[in-house]
Structure 1
Amino acid sequence: MKKTHFLIVIVLAIFTMSSCLKDDAQPTPQAIVTLLNSYPDASDVYYQMDGRIINNVSFPYKTYTSFRAFPGSKRLEVMSRMDNKMLIDTTMNYADSTFYTGYVYGAVGKPKFIRTTDSPVENLGEKAAARFVHLGNGVAKVTFQIGDQEVAAFKDRVQENKNTVSEAQIFRPINTGTFKVTAKDEQGNILAEREDIVFKKGLYYTFALMGTKGDSEKPLYIGYLSAE
């Protein structure tokens, strides 16, 4: 499955898929994995799990794929389509009925990878839910704001690493409505922004700052995924 833009609604969404798994007479154990190419140094990537190509297509910068994985320890490889160079080689465990999002990012020549576990918010009620992932290059700490809502967990965020994932993966309750989203540096300067983002009750939004500060071709940019 290939998308040429970053604003998407994931069809295999968290709650819909989990209910389908439960409704199957004999459900097959599986995890649901989304992989996002946020790496500005590779125009196209493809993914391999345990040596097998996932979906057999390329994924340009700012695009994603979603697929099912059997539970257990799996080797994930991120490959550059241009020269078949391996960018990422990592082994992780996948649990049954669990949703994950992986992010390929980093500065030119220095690819990185993190993975979040996508879990629902208890008692979300009338609100939406959001999280912010800092994948941008050339900027230290970033504060992300949704309209005039201030979320402490979105303040002074360093670029994600293995030590920040446990915090980055948490969705936070957000008021519904239409808001501008903004990423600012420590001095309050606007790094990137987007107008008129609609937050709907019960939807989950993952916002990612990607790109490189000062890069004319791939500047800092706020992309997002939404899922029910």
Structure 2
Amino acid sequence: MKTKNYFVLLMMLFVGGLTFSACNDDDDYVRMPTAYVNFVNAYAGADALGIKLDNNSVDRGYSLKYGDIIPYDYGRAYPGSRLFSAGIPNTTKAIVDSTINLRDSVLYTSFVYGYQDTVSSILVEDKDATNFDASKVYIRFFNLSENTPAVKVNLIQNGTSTNVFNDRPVDNQTSATANGGFIAANEGSYTIQVTDMNGTQLALRNEAVKLNAGRYYTVFTRGIHGNSQKPLIVDIFQH
């Protein structure tokens, strides 16, 4: 993704099988095949998760808190078929145990979400928008909440509501792949509202977020509709 190149150059290295560089005997840089991954914890069934690739911790041994993202600006990973797992700290059983395929030079975001026994994970590519316009903002949306109907997503600015995503049930890998592209929107400061298909508000991100031209953003829901302990929340992060 064009807007992330400088982040990739500055990011901190992962431990274990996640980071590497190589030089020849003359100290000339030799590029190694590399994939880049963000990890997002949207799982409402615990306060934190441990995330691993091939049994190597991607969070340096620290648990990834509910709602958090690591490493914010993409971490490096070996391409190929990788064992991906997530577990609740101080337990021995993984709640996600799967295989993901990573390609060289491709950027990804990985989400773990659900509640208790309804655990899911998705992996999506973070691709540049077709016909990129530097004057526009680019956004996408995933519905990762629990016990939630199909939803609409509105951007609200100065009392004016603009519908940007419509009829979006809870995502699975198939729908997330289909909806993984970014769409253009106008730059500005917005509150983000999620409603059901009848227009009844389910969640509102009251704090206005500034969407800057030329940037990419992922909006997603997490939490449990109707649950006061882990309520439905609208989250957003910049790529």
Q: Same fold (TM over 0.5)?
A: yes
Point out 4+ residue stretches in structure 1 off by more than 3 angstroms. Answer: 17-21
CA distance, structure 2, for counterparts of residue 42 and residue 83 of structure 1:
12
Residues of 2 paired with 1:207 and 1:125: CA distance?
20
User: Matches of 1:149 and 1:214 in 2, distance apart?
Assistant: 25
**What whole-Å deviation, never above 9, does each CA across 1:80-113 have from its counterpart, x for those lacking one?**
1032320101101101111111111113222110
Q: 1:216 to 1:18 in 2, by over 3 A?
A: closer
Tell me, in whole angstroms, the C-alpha distance in 1 between the residues paired with 2:141 and 2:80: 28
8 Å Cα contact 2:152/2:163 also seen in 1: no
* Contact 1:43/1:61 (<8 A) preserved: yes
One-letter amino acid matched to 1:34: N
Q: Could you say which residue in structure 2 is the equivalent of 1:76?
A: 84
RCO higher in structure (CA 8 A, sep ≥6): 1
CA displacement, residues 55-93 of structure 1 (integer Å, 9 cap, x when unaligned): 211011101213210111101011110323201011011
Q: Which residue of 1 aligns with 2:48?
A: 44
Cα distance in 1, alignment partners of residues 145 and 49 from structure 2: 18
CA contact (8 A) 1:14 1:99 kept: no
Structure-2 residue corresponding to 1:178: 189
Q: Give the Å deviation of 1:18.
A: 6.5
Distance 1:108 1:33 in 2: 25
- Asked if residue 149 in structure 1 is aligned to residue 168 in structure 2, the reply is no
Which residue of structure 1 aligns with residue 69 of structure 2?
64
Query: Aligned residue for 1:217?
Result: 229
Aligned to 1:16: 6
TM-score, length-scaled by structure 1: 0.86
Distance 1:162 1:64 in 2: 19
Unpaired segments of 5 or more residues in structure 1? 1-12
Q: Is the 8 A contact 1:131 1:205 kept in 2?
A: yes
Helix, strand or coil at the partner of 2:178? helix
Aligned residues: 211
TM-score, structure 2 as length reference = 0.83
Match of 2:100 among 89, 92, 116: 92
User: Counterpart of 1:29?
Assistant: 33
Instruction: Give me the whole-angstrom Cα distance separating, in 2, the residues matched to 1:134 and 1:25.
Output: 42
Larger gyration radius, structure 1 or structure 2? 2
Question: What secondary structure sits across from 2:6 in the alignment?
Answer: helix
Structure-2 separation of matches of 1:19 and 1:188: 43
Matched to 2:54, the amino acid is D
Equivalent residue, structure 1, for 2:13: none
Could you say what the CA RMSD is over the residues aligned between the two structures, in angstroms? Answer: 1.9
Cα shift at 1:28: 1.9
Equivalent residue, structure 1, for 2:180: 169
Matched AA of 1:38: A
Matches within 5 A, 1:130-145: 130-145=139-154
Shift of 1:44: 1.4
- The match for 2:220 is 208
* Paired AA for residue 117 in structure 2: G
Q: Percent identity?
A: 27
Contact 1:44 1:82 survives alignment (8 Å): no
| Displacement after TM superposition at 1:19 (Å) | 7.6
Maintained 8 Å contact 1:136/1:212: yes
State the alpha-carbon separation in 1 of the partners of residues 174 and 151 from structure 2: 17
Within the alignment, does 1:129 sit opposite 2:133 as a pair? no
5+ long unaligned stretches in structure 2: 11-20, 22-27
